[in-house]
Amino acid sequence: MFPNLNAEMAREKLTIKSLAEISGINYESLKLKLRGVTEFKLCEMIAIKKKAFPDKTLDYLFQPIYNGKKEVE
């Protein structure tokens, strides 16, 4: 659902569990959010950006993908 976030997690060798611990988001909730079942709250996105990827932008990390294509404005 969020290919850039997944790529950055892979680069940093972060698992969903470790990202949950770093960001303070419940593990089960984070799994659902990463799959696109539920939506991220803005405060959760900011926590992930600040605590795990401070050098990346929110736009980059949370750029969604739909039907195999990135959303373009």
Q: Is residue 71 part of a domain?
A: no
Q: What would the pLDDT profile of 20-36 be if each residue is shown by its tens digit?
A: 999 999 999 999 999 99
Q: What is the pLDDT of residue 1?
A: 86
pLDDT tens digits for range 51-61: 999 999 999 99
pLDDT at position 35 is: 92
What CATH number did the domain enclosing 44 receive? 1.10.260
Number of structural domains found in the chain: 1
Is the CB of residue 61 less than 8 Å from the CB of residue 8?
Answer: yes
* 12/61 Cα distance (integer angstroms): 14
Domain coverage including residue 33 = 3-62
pTM of the model: 0.86
Is 23 a member of any domain?
yes
